[in-house]
Amino acid sequence: MQFLLILLVIAGGMGLSVEAGLLGPLGNEVGGLWATFSIFGVGAALTFLLMLFFSPRNSPSFFTQPSWTLLGGILGPIYVVILTIAVPVIGIAMTMIGILAGQVFKSLVIDHYGLFGTSHRKIDSRRIIALIFIVAALILVAKG
């Protein structure tokens, strides 16, 4: 099961690179904020349709959840605006490696402290070395 999930998140990461490639030209044509709005509009419509057919009808309302759990709704558009602005200037590879470096760094901190209700996974030398390799990739791609 874990291997299948790893393949699934790799495919998701590939999808993000495609999304970044689409956002750059779209942002150049209609503007960064309109590109972000269109991406989230299409995504919201698709999610709504999926909810109609696949979501349990008795699931708890998101209005009853702690407000901090909805902060992803703020972070998502910020991420997409950054992609839209960065890709035409520094390219998809640099953008995605930079995003990855930030994700891994913050993920290590979140895991280490068990933030947001996640399990504690201490930062160890292997995790630090992995982050160093990602930063090295960022530097090597930047020099290329």
pLDDT tens track for 53-89: 998 878 777 778 888 888 888 998 999 999 999 999 9
The pLDDT mean for the chain works out to 91
Please tell me the chain's helix, strand, coil percentages from 3-state DSSP, rounded to the nearest 5.
85, 0, 15
Question: How large is the average pLDDT for residues 87-112?
Answer: 94
The pLDDT of residue 39 is 92
Residues contacting 33, CB < 8 A, separation 6+: 81
Task: State how far the alpha carbon of 13 is from the alpha carbons of 17, 41, 89, 103, 138, in Å.
Answer: 7, 21, 21, 12, 17
The pLDDT of residue 109 is 96
pLDDT tens track for 21-60: 999 899 999 999 999 999 999 999 999 999 999 988 787 7
